[in-house]
């Protein structure tokens, strides 16, 4: 159901998402921003990443490790190369410098008003959020991906805010 809702959404809604984030909850000056290169029908956060780069932020993209490990990140700028990664991801090449983010943009398959999220089932972002407790996290998705209730377990970390093309949602958690 969440995947179908995402597929029906307009990927250009990323422009509206960017406007909401920049107006209502921009990352602090100098923060290293962990984004991701959108896959398939995910909301396109590239307009937000480009604006943040223009504001002087260092961007980082995830490197998918073996199962059971948190993500690592490498610095990246628009115009720099990207290589194919696991699961259809795009990631910076091995020679790109490692980066530790202060602010994470977290992709969502689905979410609820409590800030709970469904990812793609690998647990990578939950392990990453647990490994970076000081980092701010902002979920990003289409508004249509909101469900009444997302199932959770003890390792799931709720997000305090979720950005969509319709605005910023403060979680009830």
Domain count, the chain: 1
The candidate with the shortest Cα–Cα distance to 64, out of 6, 9, 4, 119, is 119
Quote the domain boundaries for residue 71.
Answer: 2-170
The DSSP element (H or E) to which 161 belongs, if any, is strand 161-164
Here the CATH number for the domain that contains residue 37 is 3.40.50.10420
Tokens of 168: 């910023």
pLDDT in tens, 48-99: 999 999 999 999 999 999 888 999 999 999 999 999 998 889 999 999 999 9
Record the pTM.
0.92
What's residue 79's pLDDT? 96
| Degrees to nearest 5, angle at CA 106 with 23 and 159 | 80
Tokens of 120: 């793609």
């Amino acid at each position: 159901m969440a995947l179908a809702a995402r597929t029906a959404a307009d990927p250009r809604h990323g422009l509206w998402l960017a406007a909401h984030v920049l107006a209502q909850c921009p990352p602090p000056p100098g923060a290293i921003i962990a984004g991701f290169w959108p896959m398939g029908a995910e909301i396109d956060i590239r307009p937000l990443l480009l604006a943040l780069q223009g504001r002087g932020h260092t961007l980082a993209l995830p490197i998918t490790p073996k199962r059971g490990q948190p993500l690592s990140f490498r610095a990246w700028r628009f115009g720099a190369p990207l290589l194919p990664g696991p699961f259809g991801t795009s990631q910076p090449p091995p020679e790109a410098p490692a980066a530790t983010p202060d602010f994470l943009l977290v992709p969502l398959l689905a979410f609820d008003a409590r800030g709970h999220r469904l990812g793609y089932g690998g647990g990578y972002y939950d392990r990453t959020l647990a490994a970076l407790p000081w980092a701010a996290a902002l979920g990003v998705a289409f508004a249509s991906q909101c469900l009444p209730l997302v199932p959770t377990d003890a390792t799931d970390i709720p997000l305090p805010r979720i950005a969509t093309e319709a605005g910023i949602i403060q979680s009830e958690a």
